[in-house]
Amino acid sequence: MSSSSGQQQFRYTQTPSKVLHLRNLPWECTEEELVELCKPFGKIVNTKCNVGANRNQAFIEFSDLNQAISMVSYFASSSEPAQVRGKTVYIQYSNRQEIVNNKSTGDVAGNVLLVTIEGVEAGDVSIDVIHLVFSAFGFVHKIATFEKAAGFQALIQFTDSETAAAARNALDGRSIPRYLLPEHVNSCHLRISYSAHTDLNIKFQSHRSRDYTNPYLPVNPSAIEGTLQPTVGPDGKKKEPESNVLLASIENMQYAVTVDVIHTVFSAFGTVQKIAIFEKNGGMQALIQYPDVTTAAVAKEALEGHCIYDGGYCKLHLSYSRHTDLNVKAHSDKSRDYTIQDTGLLSIPQAPGAPTAAPAWQSNPQAASMYPGNVGPQAHPDAQIGAWDPNMHGGRPRFPPAPGTYPGQAYVPSSSMPMYPTSGAPPPAAADATMQQMPPYYGGQPNARPAGPPSVGRPPMYY
């Protein structure tokens, strides 16, 4: 007469387990807080935190079943409910007998994150977008993406676990801003945990994997095509040969675009070696030289069609230059050679998670701007969020983009701002007086800060 199995979900008939399921935890409840709550009852051998859609559940595993039973029993009969930070925590036996994750006893967070990108297919989120987002927290060494039952996933390798933890804390449960996603994707939340890996084995630069520490790693040609093709269209249209030098045409140039601005924007993707800006057909163009084709390809893909400034200004169109090595003056208002040692700035390393020394925010301006305010200050003690000034948007003129209204002639310094309303903060480039004698951008970014940054040109979005 007894019916079949599968029905052990009933609250009072759950089979005991040394694994307990805890719900209604406060947001971002730490493992330490869980341990504080549970350790009076026994030895905790494993935990799994930030579980569930709201990240407010956790699992905790005792070394012995009796310890779990004692904890459940205690709170079942206690007048005081289990609490963390004053919030009642609901405890029951897990329906599993052990926590299966990579961190067994005492294991600490690693330097490699496992990121599940929910609600998207692999093609929706390019590896470059992932790189962009995670680079906000430090140098991203490697990325490997794959599709598994859990969905589209990425392993992201940072220098150290601290950096990885910062990224995880800030991004777990958040969504990649919509403007970095294809139209049809409404949201894609990141679920982040730690991988057991410490060093990913990337064999090719491809649309599925990158090794940013090794620019000379062979490129899987078909794979790279795969990432670039979608922007062109599936008609298999012939593309210009790739190059390590990008040609940027700047459209709707309401605001000045200086060498420093260009450098700031393009440094997000790697070392910029040289820059030359010039005018052509009344428009402005820039050549940006990277050390390698891969970096250029990443920058091209990420920035194409995006605006340097909020409001549709200074829209970038990118193609590959035929040049491979620019011959430019080391330091003029139209060009820069960053490979020359005379400034002493070259010794500054490339943003390996050292926000103050390296151009960290520049290195990921948009990523930083994506998560202002919302990210706890602890996540970014310094540069990243601080560099973002939310007032920039409020203060920026809101008149619609006026393609074609830009006079087409050279950017004329101060008198060229007729359209610019007098109220509010001046546009980033309005400080034209300082433009010509602007120091290398490390010296400070009064106007090198491209407000909304490269790929965004739009206010941050949260959802």
Check residue 441 for interaction with DNA (CB under 7 A): no
Binding mask 185-204 for DNA (x = CB under 7 A): ------x-xxxx--------
Query: In this complex, which beta carbon is closest to DNA, that of residue 37 or of residue 99?
Result: 99
Answer for which of 86, 148, 347, 437 binds DNA (CB under 7 A) is 148
Angle at CA of residue 309, ends 305 and 310, nearest 5°: 95
Query: In this complex, which beta carbon is closest to DNA, that of residue 153 or of residue 362?
Result: 153
Check residue 73 for interaction with DNA (CB under 7 A): no
Q: Which of residues 213-232 bind DNA (CB under 7 A)?
A: none
Answer for which of 38, 45, 69, 99 binds DNA (CB under 7 A) is 99
Check residue 76 for interaction with DNA (CB under 7 A): no
Check residue 95 for interaction with DNA (CB under 7 A): yes
**Count of positions on this chain that bind DNA (CB under 7 A):** 37
* 352-to-96, 134, 136, 255 alpha-carbon distances in Å: 40, 12, 11, 31
Answer for which of 34, 37, 84, 94 binds DNA (CB under 7 A) is 94
Tokens of 171: 């991004």
Check residue 51 for interaction with DNA (CB under 7 A): yes
Query: In this complex, which beta carbon is closest to DNA, that of residue 15 or of residue 356?
Result: 15
Query: In this complex, which beta carbon is closest to DNA, that of residue 1 or of residue 149?
Result: 149
Query: In this complex, which beta carbon is closest to DNA, that of residue 52 or of residue 119?
Result: 52
191 beta partners: 116
Q: How far is the CB of 232 from DNA (least distance, A)?
A: 33
Answer for which of 16, 23, 285, 401 binds DNA (CB under 7 A) is 23
Check residue 63 for interaction with DNA (CB under 7 A): no
Q: How far is the CB of 102 from DNA (least distance, A)?
A: 4
The one segment of 53-61, 222-230, 246-254, 388-396 that binds DNA by CB under 7 A: 53-61
Check residue 145 for interaction with DNA (CB under 7 A): no
* 112-to-31, 253, 296 alpha-carbon distances in Å: 19, 41, 25
Binding mask 100-119 for DNA (x = CB under 7 A): xxx-----------x-x---
Query: In this complex, which beta carbon is closest to DNA, that of residue 189 or of residue 306?
Result: 189
Query: In this complex, which beta carbon is closest to DNA, that of residue 150 or of residue 412?
Result: 150
Q: Which of residues 345-364 bind DNA (CB under 7 A)?
A: none
Check residue 52 for interaction with DNA (CB under 7 A): yes
Q: How far is the CB of 60 from DNA (least distance, A)?
A: 9
Query: In this complex, which beta carbon is closest to DNA, that of residue 42 or of residue 454?
Result: 42
Could you tell me the sign of the dihedral formed by the alpha carbons of 412, 418, 419, 424, in that order? positive
Chain positions contacting DNA, by CB under 7 A: 9, 11, 14, 19, 21, 23-24, 48, 51-54, 56-57, 59, 90, 92-96, 98-102, 114, 116, 148-150, 153, 191, 193-196
